[in-house]
Amino acid sequence: MSAAAEPPIVAAGLTKRYGSLVAVDSLDLELRRGEIFGLLGQNGAGKTTTILMLLGLTEPTGGTARVLGLDPARDALRVKRQVGYLPDSVGFYGDLTGRQNLRYTARLNGLRGRDAEARIEEALGQVGLTHRGDDQAGTYSRGMLQRLGIADALIKDPEILILDEPTAAIDPIGVVEILQLLRDLVHERGVTVLLSSHLLTQVQSVCDRVGIFAAGRLIGLGTVPQLAAKFGNDTGQVEVTFEGEQAAGAAKRIKPVLEGIAGVERVDPATSPGEPWRLEVRPASAGRAVREAVLAAAARDGLGLTAIRSTEASLDDIYRAALRQAGLHRQAEATEPEGAVA
């Protein structure tokens, strides 16, 4: 298989031991070109160690890795020239401007003169920092430094971006902007993104596929629906919104209609005006039939339906179920609420 046809990242039996501690245990993983792949796990699960082996920054104890057809243990410099990397703690020279920091990176990668300046300008534009490019990096917020870190990774025009906790400690607006930036990079440039994170909702919102990592092992791999089918209880969810359901008697009239639809296991009424009702559907594949039945019932009984949609299974629930099946459920007890793994 040629390097161009080979998957951008392949790991086979990849293992890293530190004395008696197995940080990464026989990892088999293959990334597809042009996808955003989320490596999800608690801090200490082995995600960063995996990244360091893929970059040639630490040697594996066993197994092999191939990055763009190269062995990072033997061709670390060639791998680094073609892979953009954003570590979990990004650092820049605070007394230099953002542009000057990128210029330094360009020189390290053999770019000078007009080619370097064009690449720097493009990267600043892609991360939305053109207007702050001539300000000292020491004046940047955490979110701006993360953006500058992505720009820094883009200077070498990489085929792969590896990002270790890229949205940690960033405000919600900044998170949304960075995740949209990753989508744009994949869509416009065909970049393959490996995103390591412990933030469940962010991984679910942006990643094409997810690998669940725990205690150094990959215990789940696939799209969110695939993981839900493997680790969940084969349930789906449909959200429906009605106009005026808070009026006297309206909610009482709606609930029995929804409960009578085949495939609906449970009905959770709206908690406030304008909020959706939530229907638990089983099996999950019955979601389409349930939506059609809701539409028909709403038209027949004049329920004032205003919106209906199916929602994905919660990655938080999937993650906890995967840990339980792997006998690692005690780790789930340390999981932070609201979509963050401790």
Domain harbouring 151, CATH code: 3.40.50.300
Q: Could you give the residue ranges of the DSSP H alpha helices within 207-286? A: 224-231, 250-259
Structural domain span for residue 289? 233-311
Q: What angle do CA 154, 158, 160 make, to 5 degrees?
A: 110
Tell me: do 90 and 129 sit in the same domain.
Answer: yes
The Cα 240–Cα 307 span in angstroms is 6
Q: How far is CA 162 from CA 36, 155, 165, in A?
A: 10, 14, 10
Tell me: do 111 and 249 sit in the same domain.
Answer: no
Tell me: do 217 and 240 sit in the same domain.
Answer: no
Quick check: is 326 in a domain? Answer: no
- The residue to which tokens 């390290």 are assigned: 108
Quick check: is 132 in a domain? Answer: yes
Give the residues across from 213 on adjacent strands.
218
- The residue to which tokens 């820049």 are assigned: 92
Tell me: do 40 and 165 sit in the same domain.
Answer: yes
What total number of domains does the chain contain? 2
Contact criterion met (CB below 8 Å) for 106 and 153? no
**Sign of the torsion formed by the C-alpha atoms of 8, 189, 77 and 179:** negative
Quick check: is 169 in a domain? Answer: yes
Tell me: do 47 and 170 sit in the same domain.
Answer: yes
Quick check: is 238 in a domain? Answer: yes
Give the residues across from 239 on adjacent strands.
278, 309
Quick check: is 255 in a domain? Answer: yes
Tell me: do 86 and 216 sit in the same domain.
Answer: yes
Tell me: do 157 and 200 sit in the same domain.
Answer: yes
Q: Where are the beta strands (DSSP E) in the chain?
A: 9-18, 21-31, 36-40, 62-67, 83-86, 160-164, 192-197, 209-214, 217-222, 236-242, 264-268, 277-281, 305-311
Local confidence pLDDT in tens for the 342 residues of the chain = 445 578 999 999 999 999 999 999 999 999 999 999 999 998 889 999 999 999 999 999 999 999 999 999 999 999 998 999 998 777 899 999 999 999 999 998 888 899 999 999 999 998 889 999 999 999 998 888 988 999 999 998 899 999 998 887 677 887 888 888 889 889 888 899 999 988 888 788 899 999 999 999 999 999 988 888 888 767 888 999 988 654 446 778 899 999 999 999 999 988 877 789 999 898 878 889 999 999 999 999 888 899 999 887 778 888 888 998 888 765 444 444 344 444
Q: Which residues contact 96 (CB under 8 A, 6 or more apart)?
A: 104, 136, 137
Cis omega before residue 172 (within 30°)? no
Contact criterion met (CB below 8 Å) for 133 and 124? yes
